[in-house]
Amino acid sequence: MHITRILPVRLLALTILLGVLGYSPAASRALPADIEWRAEVVNSGDVGGYSPLALDSNDYPHIVYPSSQDGVDFLRYLWRDAAGWHSANINTPGYIGDVSLALDANGYGRISFSGFSGWGYNPLQYAWQNASGWHIEVVDQDVAVVFAPSLVLDSSGYAHVSYCASDESDNYSLKYAWQDAGGWHLTTVDNTGQVGLFNSLALDGNGYAHISYLDDSNHDLKYAWQDAGGWHLTTVDGDGNVGAHTSLALDHDGYAHISYCSFGSEWYYEHDLMYAWQDAGGWYTATLDYVNVGAYTSLALDQDDYAHISYQLTVGDDLKYTWQNTDGWHTTTVDSSGGGYSSLELDNRGMPHVTYQTDVGLKYAHAGYFLHLPLIGKSFLPCFSGAFEVEPNNAYLQSTGPLCSGQTVSGYPDDQKDYYSVYLPAGGTLTIDLANHTGSGVQLQLFYQVADADHRVGFDYTSPYRIVYTGQAGWYYIYIYTESGFNTATPYTLHVTYP
């Protein structure tokens, strides 16, 4: 099943008008083929390993990833709310390996992770948040190294974790830890050969665990599930070298769906994107995308049990996204600046949100709908009326605006990034002048629809800063970058004109 349909990528904006035009998210459950993406950098520094994503009940993103500063390792936790992005550092005993994230019913974070606390000692650990802050405990310390923990919370808020455990002789096994009122419990699910890498956990409606994982001895995709009779194991796909980068979800009937990849002589080369699913008749497999694709797959099912998968090209590193609806499979490139360690979630409307790593840092992208306003639409879009920028405006999704033609607005060069927006109801020439900027390393940049490298349409790095650009109707984002020389004493002025 080769994917051939490529979709345009445009910007999500003015979703408030969708209700006026008769669009109802609840009435459109299978994702249509006209979704559009926005992306932003949420950390421009070095982010090590996985950076899992979870959405709270209001569809705000929460992200966690390993970080370090001045030789000190910690977990970095990001979350967004109506006021913007926030961050906190979670102190840990030592170096941090793989991480997994879930949110409880109150929106508090739960994190499973592997963390070194001494040479040769890499226990499975668990961090949880409540009103008093973050707390950490060791779950399984009788291992040499823990890889790829996968965390899920049950209906009572108790944690369940699948993970790959290695002993001092580098023998891998699949283990499972779960929590109840009596504390933590551990069991070994599979220890036949080298098994357990790239595991992914889901719980069914009865709270039983289901796990997909790699059998590295045989290069097969395996699946373990639990019921009243105990644990059961099966090989889902044993055709060639398969089973890396698995991601598991259960549909409404409790049947398993797994995204994964095939690979060449080594699991990190020559991927194809694979998909396995189950029904009353058994297991089925399909190849969705071919040749150097399929790394870091992340799978979610929508309300109609259609599959959505984010993944990375292993040559070119693009973030790709493929999904099903009533018309079949579709695919698009979300970001060409990178797509490693992707983590996908669907919001309450069935829209995708993804975190991933790129050449410029950790990014967060989400999709929705965009409407180009006709000329009459300008009367519904009042201009920004203030004389000064409104902070925070250090990301284009938080930009000050839209600015009207002939308007001058001021801002202080008190941080590195200031964003402003302009909406052109019809094509024409946009002129931007930046004056009286007292900082150093100043850059004036202009983006169309999305503020990323692929959508930059103008820039000026030398004073006097001016951009003159003739383009089509739509949203434009003005980016003022200040490298150093921050101050709150002397404001700059930004002046825009357009038809």
DSSP 395-420: SGGG-B-PPPTT-EEEE---SSEEEE
Q: Which of 17-21, 77-81, 215-219, 287-291 has the lowest mean pLDDT?
A: 17-21
Q: Where are the domains of the chain?
A: 16-21+32-368, 375-497
CA distance 124 to 114: 5
Instruction: Please determine, for residue 445, whether its predicted confidence score (pLDDT) is greater than 80.
Output: yes
**pLDDT band per the 50, 70, 90 thresholds, residue 324:** very high
Residues 6+ apart with CB under 8 A from 58: 81
Tell me if domain 16-21+32-368 and domain 375-497 are identical in fold.
no
pLDDT, tens digit (0-9, with 9 covering 90-100), for 390-436: 888 888 888 898 998 999 999 999 999 999 999 888 889 999 999 99
Least confident segment among 57-66, 115-124, 178-187 = 115-124
Q: What pLDDT shows up at residue 450? A: 86
Helices (H), 10-154: 16-20
pTM above 0.85, yes or no: no
Q: Which of 373, 356, 378, 374 is nearest to 365 (CA)?
A: 356
Q: According to the model, what pLDDT value does residue 223 have?
A: 98
17 vs 108 pLDDT, higher one:
108
- 8: pLDDT strictly greater than 60: no
Q: Express each pLDDT in 347-396 by its tens digit.
A: 998 999 999 998 888 999 998 764 444 433 344 456 887 889 988 888 88
CB-based burial label for 31 (10 Å; 0-12, 13-18, 19+) = buried
Please provide the CATH number assigned to the domain covering 375-497.
2.60.120.380
DSSP string, 429-492: EEEEEEE----BS-EEEEEESS-SGGGEEEEE-SSSEEEEEEE-SEEEEEEEE--B---SSS-E
Whole-angstrom distance, CA of residue 228 vs CA of residue 208: 8
Q: How far apart are CA 403 and CA 495, in angstroms?
A: 9
Compute the distance between CA of residue 492 and CA of residue 383 in angstroms, rounded to an integer.
20
Judge whether residue 25 has pLDDT over 80. Answer: no
- What tokens does 16 get? 């408030």
- Rounded mean pLDDT, 108-134: 85
Average pLDDT over residues 220-226: 98
| CATH class of the structural domain 16-21+32-368 | mainly beta
- Edge-to-edge strand order for the sheet containing 242-250? 242-250, 256-262, 272-279, 282-289
